[in-house]
């Protein structure tokens, strides 16, 4: 089924274009928008009644009521280094975790007041952070293949907790692009993660760290400039922008690249469709009226989307 979503919504201030730092030894930064294939507005967390979005430029959290989409802003104060738009974690201990200084540090802020509680230097740079049930999960930067990427904060240290490992590629820029990892919003028993570049595959990570792969439909095709362009990112496709897992077999995916132009190339089209996928097959496809950046909330009947113009809108899916 293919249909156009009906929209209801509110407006937030525009989120600035945000660069994803990959490694201090490399000048490679992949930004959201015309300059790059990967984007994150800052990250989100969803609770029983509220969605929280990080805007690292404030810095602060947008707090959005799940029922009404009414929005307020909570400032994050006391940081002495720039916060990174690489995600947030709320592990249930009354704190909000945010990466800083291009993945070198993590700040813990009070969930109640937004005031800084602690700053920690990480033993290795990280490209992202998310909530993994009762702990903060971090995604490590890897420069070699076959190294475990998902780390969990336990007793003051970072420990690998999943067999998800870095992939091989020719050349350092290609290796870094091939190992950009994102995680979406989850049901109780699994968290959806994916490699941004490459095959359209979602990896469901369970509480033990075990992986269950699900192939999802894709609208991305290889660029005609593959092999000829000097830009290493053109060698890849970028099928998935976001994932919201409803249950063990059903999930919504937001497209990233659509067609044969990567987001690195002029005229690229992205984020214009969401698909309800069950058992690896598209059960429903919605065409969106504008580019979307993230799925903030979802059921089988509707979705709450963050659009590229900074608006948050509810889209009816039936």
DSSP 97-123: EEEETTTTEEEEEETTT-BEEEEEE-S
Confidence label for 313 from pLDDT (cuts 50, 70 and 90): very high
- Average the pLDDT over each of 65-74, 92-101, 138-147, 184-193 and give the range with the smallest value: 184-193
CB atoms within 10 A of CB 25: 11
Domain that holds residue 267: 2-316
83 and 118 Cβ atoms separated by less than 8 Å: no
**pLDDT on residue 41:** 66
Name the band, by pLDDT with cuts 50, 70 and 90, for residue 9: low
List C-alpha distances in Å: 243 to 70, 148, 192, 253, 294.
23, 22, 7, 5, 8
Q: Are strands 281-287 and 2-4 parallel, antiparallel or unpaired?
A: parallel
Residue closest to 59 by CA, chosen among 92, 96, 22: 96
Q: What is the predicted pLDDT for the residue at 227?
A: 73
Q: pLDDT tens across 254-282, in order?
A: 999 999 998 878 888 999 999 999 988 99
CA–CA dist 63, 221 (Å, integer): 37
Task: Give the SS3 label for residue 43.
Answer: coil
Q: What is the mean pLDDT of the chain?
A: 85
pLDDT given at position 38: 28
Average pLDDT on 179-201 reads: 90
pTM, two decimals, is 0.87
CATH number at residue 111: 2.120.10.30
**% of the chain residues with pLDDT over 70:** 87
The pLDDT of residue 32 is above 60: no
Count the domains in the chain.
1
Coil/strand/helix, residue 170? coil
Residue 57 pLDDT level (bands cut at 50, 70, 90): confident
Interatomic CA distance for residues 91 and 130, integer angstroms? 9
Residue 232 clears pLDDT 50, i.e. is over it: yes
Separation CA 287–CA 275 (nearest Å): 9
pLDDT over 50 at 299, yes or no:
yes
Length of the chain as a residue count? 318
User: Could you report the per-residue pLDDT of 11-31, keeping only the tens digit for each?
Assistant: 444 332 222 333 322 222 333
């Amino acid at each position: 089924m293919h249909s156009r979503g009906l929209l209801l919504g509110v407006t937030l201030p525009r989120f600035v274009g945000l660069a994803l730092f990959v490694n201090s030894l490399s000048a490679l930064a992949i930004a959201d928008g015309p300059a790059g294939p990967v984007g994150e507005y800052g990250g989100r967390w969803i609770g029983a009644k509220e969605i929280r979005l990080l805007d690292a430029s404030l810095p602060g959290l947008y707090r959005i009521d799940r029922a009404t989409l009414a929005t307020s802003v909570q400032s994050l104060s006391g940081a002495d280094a720039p916060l990174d738009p690489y995600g947030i974690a709320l592990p249930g201990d009354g704190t909000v975790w945010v990466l800083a200084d291009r993945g070198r540090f993590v700040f813990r802020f009070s969930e109640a007041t937004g005031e800084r509680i602690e700053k920690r230097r990480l033993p290795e740079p990280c490209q992202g952070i998310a909530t993994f049930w009762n702990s903060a999960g971090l995604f490590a930067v890897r420069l070699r293949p076959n190294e475990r990427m998902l780390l969990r904060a336990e007793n003051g240290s970072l420990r690998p907790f999943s067999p998800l490992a870095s992939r091989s590629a020719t050349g350092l820029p290609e290796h870094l692009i091939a190992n950009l990892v994102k995680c979406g919003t989850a049901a109780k028993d699994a968290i959806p993660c994916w490699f941004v570049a490459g095959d359209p595959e979602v990896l469901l990570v369970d509480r033990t760290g075990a992986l269950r792969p699900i192939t999802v439909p894709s609208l991305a095709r290889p660029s005609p400039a593959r092999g000829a362009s000097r830009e290493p990112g053109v060698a890849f496709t970028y099928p998935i922008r976001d994932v919201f897992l409803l249950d063990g077999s059903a999930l919504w995916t937001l497209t990233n690249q659509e067609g044969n132009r990567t987001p690195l190339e002029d005229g690229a089209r992205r984020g214009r469709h969401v698909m309800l996928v069950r058992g690896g097959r598209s059960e429903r496809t919605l065409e969106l009226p504008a580019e979307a950046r993230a799925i903030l909330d979802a059921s089988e009947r509707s979705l709450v989307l963050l659009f590229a113009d900074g608006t948050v809108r509810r889209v009816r899916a039936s």
